[in-house]
């Protein structure tokens, strides 16, 4: 194997985030190392082979770089999930507050009140959990964060389902407006989708992480 073929194989196994930097550093390292072996009296081919041997096999180096990059990826994924949880306030509160006509009732129906409380509680729990998970990812427990991220998604899904039930119930007793669900549904789905993608991304890196 030559330095170039080693680098090609290594590059194919590295995550895109650090690939370029690792390859530049590895190339410079291998060139220096081969030069040292040449200076010690080895042929160019032998020097290159010895440099590659000293550097370590592709699998070991790639695995360790991937493990280090996985920490970054988990941090990004956790931050994305936190942002998605925070933005969920727009479809949950911002949109209905600005699109629904004034309430037609003197006293709010109990079931609507209950649904609103449940949806808000689920969202706040999910947001709080996302904040804890993100703090874990940015401190010493990225593996724990990767494991806990699906719970953030599940919390948002539960809040979204409860909100959908609330919409149905609301339109049973109040004037139907289409602006609310048409605006809120894509935003809510976007937030849920983003948190699910973040959870899946971090989940796939979990095995590479060490606490």
Binding interface with another protein (CB under 8 A)? 18, 21-22, 24-26, 28-29, 32-33, 54-57, 60-61, 64-65, 67-68, 71-72, 140, 210
* Contact by Cβ (8 Å): 198, 80: yes
Residue closer to another protein, measured from CB, 52 or 95: 52
Name residues whose C-beta falls within 8 Å of residue 129's C-beta, 6 or more positions apart in sequence.
148, 151, 152, 155
Residue closer to another protein, measured from CB, 136 or 153: 136
Least Cβ distance, residue 62 to another protein (angstroms): 9
* Contact by Cβ (8 Å): 47, 34: yes
Residue closer to another protein, measured from CB, 61 or 183: 61
Closest CA to 143 of 73, 63, 60, 62: 73
Closest CA to 127 of 156, 158, 91, 162: 156
Rounded Cα distance, 119 and 196, in Å = 19
End-to-end CA distance of the chain: 35
Neighbours of 44 (CB within 10 A): 10
Rounded Cα distance, 130 and 78, in Å = 7
Residue closer to another protein, measured from CB, 63 or 204: 63
Least Cβ distance, residue 60 to another protein (angstroms): 6
Residue closer to another protein, measured from CB, 67 or 154: 67
Least Cβ distance, residue 144 to another protein (angstroms): 15
Residue closer to another protein, measured from CB, 16 or 140: 140
Least Cβ distance, residue 74 to another protein (angstroms): 12
Kindly give the interhelix angle for 179-205 and 142-173, rounded to the nearest 10 degrees: 160
Least Cβ distance, residue 37 to another protein (angstroms): 12
Least Cβ distance, residue 18 to another protein (angstroms): 7
């Amino acid at each position: 194997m030559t330095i170039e073929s080693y680098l090609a194989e290594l590059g194919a196994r590295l995550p895109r985030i650090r690939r370029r930097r690792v390859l530049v550093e590895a190339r410079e390292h291998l060139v220096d190392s081969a030069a040292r072996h040449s200076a010690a009296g080895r042929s160019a081919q032998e020097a290159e082979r010895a440099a590659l041997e000293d550097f370590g096999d592709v699998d070991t180096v790639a695995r360790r770089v991937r493990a280090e990059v996985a920490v970054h990826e988990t941090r990004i994924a956790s931050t994305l999930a936190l942002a998605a949880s925070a933005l969920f306030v727009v479809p949950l509160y911002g949109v209905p507050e600005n699109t629904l006509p004034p309430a037609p009732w003197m006293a709010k129906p109990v079931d609507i009140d209950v649904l609103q409380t449940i949806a808000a509680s689920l969202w706040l729990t999910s947001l709080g959990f996302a904040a804890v998970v993100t703090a874990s990812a940015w401190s010493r427990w990225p593996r724990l964060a990767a494991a806990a991220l699906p719970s953030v998604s599940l919390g948002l899904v539960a809040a979204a389902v409860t909100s959908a039930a609330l919409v149905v119930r609301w339109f049973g007793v109040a004037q139907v407006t289409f602006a609310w669900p048409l605006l809120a549904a894509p935003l809510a789905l976007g937030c849920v989708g983003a948190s699910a993608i973040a959870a899946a991304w971090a989940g796939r890196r979990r095995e590479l992480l060490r606490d």
